[in-house]
Structure 1
Amino acid sequence: MKDTNKLIIITGPTGIGKTTLSIELAKILDTEIISADSMQIYKYMDIGTGKVTEEESQGIKHHLLDIVYPNEDYTVDDYKKDASSIVESINLNKNIPIIVGGTGLYIESLIYKLNFNIAKPNQHLRDYYNNLSLKHGPGYLHNILSKVDPISADRIHPNQEVRIIRALEVFDQTSKPFSSYNDYNREYHDNLSFKYIVLNRDREELYERINKRIDIMLSNGLVDEVKDLLDKGYSKDLTSMQGIGYKEIVSYIENELNYDEAVDLLKRNSRRYAKRQLTWFRREPSKIILDIERNDNLDAIINKCLKMIKGD
């Protein structure tokens, strides 16, 4: 009989404080961290993704950071295989890894029996839909999706063009809606034990933190990081370069927006993304909400989290 895989999940919206908390927990629990962030997989993309620095990590090993170049594909199925293997390896050493990040689909791939390998990427279809979007706008693709797969359309924001195109790509190749593969009879993986902790703060405080976080990214050189990526030959049309924090700065660099407009847009998009993340995480039936009060210091947050992990 296969041994039970064990893991701890620390998730929540962008800017809420996952990194600092997870490092302190990893030190206490003598374990390692596996990233669940679909932007931190990319090399050269450090500031805009909020990637942990060597100094910040305090010697805690982090997995699945800097594993592909910005122009390389990395699917959810790739993540599932890589992260599952690391979980098993850490478990063999009698430790429980901490999964940390805000990409809900990455986390779901580890706990649910989902089929992410339902249709291979089809560049012809992707080019077709990208051209439609350029001609008619991203809302046009969302309208198409709402007709063939209303469940996915309801869950995917009209601005999430990459996810919309993937859902259309699957439908075109299989004649079945993307939602039909992973949303019926959802079951957890066998022999799995986990704690799914969602960090939550007062909405106004969270937005303040997000705005401040972006100001720090800018002062740390976000604009130069984006310029460097473009100078390296990475196209603004790449999936990686469409991430929040990169597409807005590209618009500034290309004089489509002035600096203040780009920063305002970046902050607005980040706040909206945080709202969508919270909606996603709250639908998880096994979640435990960790409400962080404005006057909570780090020790208080750690103690709350440890009680949840231990089931107190």
Structure 2
Amino acid sequence: MSKSATPDKKQVALIAGPTASGKSDLAVDLALALENAGRPALVINADSAQVYADLQVLSARPSEDDMRGVPHRLFGAWDGAQPCSAADWAEAAKREIENAHLAEMVPILVGGTGLYIRTLLEGIAPIPAIDEAIRAEVRSLDAPALYQAVQAEDPAAAARLNAGDTQRLARALEVVRSTGRPLHGWQEKKVGGIGNAITLAPLVLLPDREWLYERCDRRFALMMENGAVEEVERLLARDLPEDLPVMRAIGVPQIASYLRGEPTRDEAIALGQQVTRNYAKRQYTWLRHQPPEEWTRLSPENVDLEKQFEILFSR
């Protein structure tokens, strides 16, 4: 696009990065820079923990001060009692993106949940609703029996998945039993993605790993000092089912165990730091290898916003 061209009204920015990489601050910096250039912008959450109203502290959801006057969408938008699937989030994100374009604003997606981003851009397999009796039967299997059943009924899924990945194995088994068709067969044709209907300006943040892990450790310790324990106390008081995503979010099980008197506070902090680092590592690996090769990958300190997002600033 030339400097004199009219900006594409279907442009969408994306800043993706692992937890604690500074992506949210960078998204706000971009929004403010665009506003100064005469293009109002807003930030749309693409993080699977930050969607829950119950997880202000443990998800490191931006505060009003962090937002610096920039409109934010889909942060704390779901009550913890209501699971937010990738399909749920993608539908909500599509509405927010459309509304932003109608208002002549640039939507900036920010997050590190690869499944959310992929579902929005590529769509989702049109799998029919799973028979509840089949789902209950599958979910009652222990890990060895589950893996053995998947090996017999969907060998491709068994070969692709780790034997300990019970959530994805259960999904594969319930799909093939309920529909008579393996999961990969459904996934060959996805529907609902917006990737071909927008001009995407993506940036993947890949900071130095040691810096990232140290930041994860420091942040979790600060969370414990600044309301994370009280946040989990409120969740436990709601007596929500343990299998809800909000109850399995990073830090919640570790702090819940501490509140029940199992580990000490220091042990709970160490456990929370470990699972946070593990999560950041998984995100880092996904972001490094799974997005298209043409997506720019940079360390945060090397980002020049106007250069990286030149297409958004061009006129």
Q: Give the TM-score normalised by the residue count of structure 1.
A: 0.83
Please tell me the residue identity of whatever aligns with 2:299: I
Q: Secondary structure in 2 aligned to 1:84? A: helix
CA distance in 2, matches of 1:196, 1:151: 32
CA distance in 1, matches of 2:247, 2:24: 23
Q: What is the aligned partner in structure 2 of residue 49 from structure 1?
A: 59
Matched, 1:306 2:312: no
Q: What is the aligned partner in structure 2 of residue 109 from structure 1?
A: 119
Q: What is the aligned partner in structure 2 of residue 175 from structure 1?
A: 180
Q: What is the aligned partner in structure 2 of residue 69 from structure 1?
A: 79
Q: Note the residue ranges of structure 1 that are not aligned, 5 or more in a row.
A: none
Q: What is the aligned partner in structure 1 of residue 267 from structure 2?
A: 261
Instruction: Report matched runs for 1:201-280 at 5 Å.
Output: 201-280=207-286
Q: Secondary structure in 2 aligned to 1:33? A: strand
1:36-73: CA deviations, max 9, x gaps? 11122212221111111112111111111222221213
CA distance in 1, matches of 2:162, 2:64: 34
Q: Note if contact 1:111-1:192 (Cα within 8 Å) is conserved in structure 2.
A: no
Q: Secondary structure in 2 aligned to 1:79? A: helix
Q: What is the aligned partner in structure 1 of residue 5 from structure 2?
A: none
Q: What is the aligned partner in structure 1 of residue 127 from structure 2?
A: 118
Q: Secondary structure in 1 aligned to 2:201? A: strand
Q: What is the aligned partner in structure 1 of residue 21 from structure 2?
A: 16
- The alpha-carbon deviation at position 84 of structure 1 amounts to 0.9
Q: What is the aligned partner in structure 1 of residue 3 from structure 2?
A: none
Q: Secondary structure in 1 aligned to 2:106? A: coil
Distance 1:40 1:291, change over 3 A: same
Of 98-107 and 248-257, more deviation after overlay is shown by: 248-257
CA distance in 2, matches of 1:59, 1:111: 28
CA distance in 2, matches of 1:140, 1:207: 36
CA distance in 2, matches of 1:185, 1:35: 23
Please tell me the residue identity of whatever aligns with 1:260: D
Of 187-196 and 142-151, more deviation after overlay is shown by: 142-151
Distance 1:118 1:184, change over 3 A: closer
CA distance in 1, matches of 2:220, 2:202: 27
Distance 1:41 1:155, change over 3 A: farther
Q: Note if contact 1:71-1:238 (Cα within 8 Å) is conserved in structure 2.
A: yes
Q: What is the aligned partner in structure 2 of residue 99 from structure 1?
A: 109
Q: What is the aligned partner in structure 2 of residue 285 from structure 1?
A: 292
Distance 1:146 1:208, change over 3 A: farther
Q: Note the residue ranges of structure 2 that are not aligned, 5 or more in a row.
A: 1-7, 35-39
Distance 1:95 1:51, change over 3 A: same
Q: Secondary structure in 2 aligned to 1:194? A: strand
Distance 1:156 1:273, change over 3 A: farther
Of 120-129 and 174-183, more deviation after overlay is shown by: 120-129
Q: Secondary structure in 1 aligned to 2:205? A: strand
Q: Secondary structure in 2 aligned to 1:100? A: strand
Distance 1:4 1:61, change over 3 A: closer
Distance 1:185 1:250, change over 3 A: closer
- The alpha-carbon deviation at position 306 of structure 1 amounts to 2.9
Q: Note if contact 2:83-2:244 (Cα within 8 Å) is conserved in structure 1.
A: no
Q: Give the TM-score normalised by the residue count of structure 2.
A: 0.82
Of 70-79 and 155-164, more deviation after overlay is shown by: 155-164
Q: Considering only aligned residues, what root-mean-square deviation do their CA atoms show, in Å? A: 2.9
Q: Note if contact 1:4-1:191 (Cα within 8 Å) is conserved in structure 2.
A: no
1:28 to 30, 33, 36: 33
Count of matched residue pairs: 298
1:288-312: CA deviations, max 9, x gaps? 344326xx3xxx63x2x33122169
Of 8-17 and 227-236, more deviation after overlay is shown by: 227-236
Q: Note if contact 1:71-1:234 (Cα within 8 Å) is conserved in structure 2.
A: yes
- The alpha-carbon deviation at position 22 of structure 1 amounts to 0.7
Q: Note if contact 1:171-1:177 (Cα within 8 Å) is conserved in structure 2.
A: yes
Structure number, greater radius of gyration: 2
Of 77-86 and 157-166, more deviation after overlay is shown by: 157-166
Matched, 1:194 2:204: no
